[in-house]
């Protein structure tokens, strides 16, 4: 059985190799190397992200029919879930597919967290003499003072913006509960940024801005379908076949 501490070791090694490449071979600083690592990870996930966006577009087109099912079985949750599962299967749509790119980023995040806290990597960064980046004193240490305030503002702003574009492009549109979640995600920065190495904030902020750009590009390349009303969706359905006439027995 693999010890819990070693689960992320392979990803940690890959992350270190990528960071070393950008720092040692390309000549980037460690902060810029973290930005480049984030771009590489998100670029690798583009095929899955494309499928995710296509699936969300398909769900947008199916919203009128979904609402009909929800309204029809609003008093029977179990039957509603059964009908929704049947509906997803018939239309070949997986509502959970949109979570996959996010879930695949979490192991990278944990691997980078371990790497930035590791003694060997810290020694390499300190020995290189370029642990600072822009307004950040050290990418391997927790931020303090002015850098902490700037990072919190960048984190909260980018998180709110990326969450907003995701909510607006979601099949159900934006609701009051989703806006509450948006605020909660943005406030996460107040607790997250001070407690972790600044390099992790660089990674997350870069991911947020990538998400914003990605959704903008998706809007141009994969436009949202024209969503018919519930009445139009029902009218577009073919009429049921006429009942078969029974043959009279002689």
112-147 residue pLDDT tens? 888 988 888 889 889 888 888 999 999 999 999 999
Q: Residue 161's closest CA among 215, 100, 108, 197? A: 215
Rounded-to-integer distance, Cα 192 and Cα 152, Å: 9
Report yes or no: 52 and 96 within 8 Å, Cβ to Cβ. Answer: no
Domain presence at residue 244:
no
Q: Residue 222's closest CA among 101, 50, 95? A: 50
Domain presence at residue 232:
no
Residue 242 pLDDT > 90: no
Domain presence at residue 230:
no
Ranked by mean pLDDT, the top range of 54-63, 108-117, 214-223, 228-237 is: 108-117
Residue 224's pLDDT is what?
62
0.85 exceeded by pTM: no
Name the residue with higher pLDDT: 46 or 150. 150
Domain presence at residue 148:
yes
56 pLDDT band (50/70/90 cuts)? Answer: confident
Q: What does the mean pLDDT of the chain come to?
A: 77
Q: Residue 197's closest CA among 30, 3, 20? A: 30
Report yes or no: 56 and 49 within 8 Å, Cβ to Cβ. Answer: no
Domain presence at residue 70:
yes
Residue 184 pLDDT > 70: no
Residue 32 CB-half CA count within 13 A: 10
**Percent of the chain, pLDDT > 90?**
19
Residue 167 pLDDT > 90: no
Domain presence at residue 40:
yes
| Domains held by the chain: number | 1
Domain enclosing residue 183, as ranges? 4-221
Rounded-to-integer distance, Cα 40 and Cα 249, Å: 75
Rounded-to-integer distance, Cα 182 and Cα 192, Å: 16
Rg from Cα positions in the chain: 24
Could you count the other beta carbons within 10 Å of the beta carbon of residue 128? 12
Domain presence at residue 26:
yes
Could you count the other beta carbons within 10 Å of the beta carbon of residue 101? 20
169 pLDDT band (50/70/90 cuts)? Answer: low
Report yes or no: 114 and 14 within 8 Å, Cβ to Cβ. Answer: no
Q: Which of 122-131, 167-176, 203-212 is predicted least confidently? A: 167-176
Name the residue with higher pLDDT: 207 or 227. 207
Helix, strand, or coil here: 133?
strand
Helix, strand, or coil here: 42?
helix
Residue 175 pLDDT > 90: no
Q: What stretch of H or E contains 17?
A: helix 9-20
Name the residue with higher pLDDT: 222 or 229. 222
**Percent of the chain, pLDDT > 70?**
72
Rounded-to-integer distance, Cα 21 and Cα 181, Å: 38
Residue 174's pLDDT is what?
46
Is the torsion defined by CA of 138, 149, 108, 37 positive or negative? negative
Rounded-to-integer distance, Cα 126 and Cα 176, Å: 47
Q: pLDDT tens digits for 33-45?
A: 999 999 999 898 8
Domain presence at residue 249:
no
Which DSSP string do the residues of 168-193 spell out, in sequence order?
HTSTT---HHHHHHHHHHHHHHHHHG
Residue 206's pLDDT is what?
94
């Amino acid at each position: 059985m693999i010890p819990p501490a070693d689960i992320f070791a392979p990803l940690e090694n890959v992350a270190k190799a990528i960071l070393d490449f950008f720092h040692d071979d390309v000549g980037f600083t460690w902060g810029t190397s973290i930005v480049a690592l984030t771009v590489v990870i998100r670029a690798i996930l583009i095929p899955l992200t494309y499928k995710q966006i296509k699936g969300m577009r398909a769900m947008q087109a199916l919203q009128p029919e979904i609402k009909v099912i929800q309204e029809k079985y609003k008093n029977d949750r179990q039957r509603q879930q059964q009908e929704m599962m049947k509906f997803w299967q018939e239309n070949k749509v997986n509502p959970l597919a949109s979570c996959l790119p996010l879930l695949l980023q979490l192991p990278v995040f944990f691997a980078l967290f371990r790497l930035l806290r590791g003694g060997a990597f810290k020694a390499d960064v300190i020995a290189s003499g370029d642990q600072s980046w822009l307004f950040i004193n050290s990418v391997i240490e927790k931020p303090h003072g002015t850098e902490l305030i700037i990072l919190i503002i960048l984190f909260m702003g980018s998180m709110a913006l990326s969450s907003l574009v995701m909510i607006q492009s979601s099949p159900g549109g934006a609701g009051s509960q989703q806006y509450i979640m948006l605020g909660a995600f943005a406030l996460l920065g107040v607790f997250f940024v001070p407690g972790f190495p600044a390099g992790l904030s660089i990674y997350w902020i870069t991911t947020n801005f990538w998400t914003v750009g990605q959704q903008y590009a998706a809007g141009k390349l994969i436009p949202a379908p024209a969503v018919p009303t519930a009445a139009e969706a029902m009218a577009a359905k073919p009429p049921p076949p006429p009942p078969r006439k029974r043959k009279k027995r002689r």
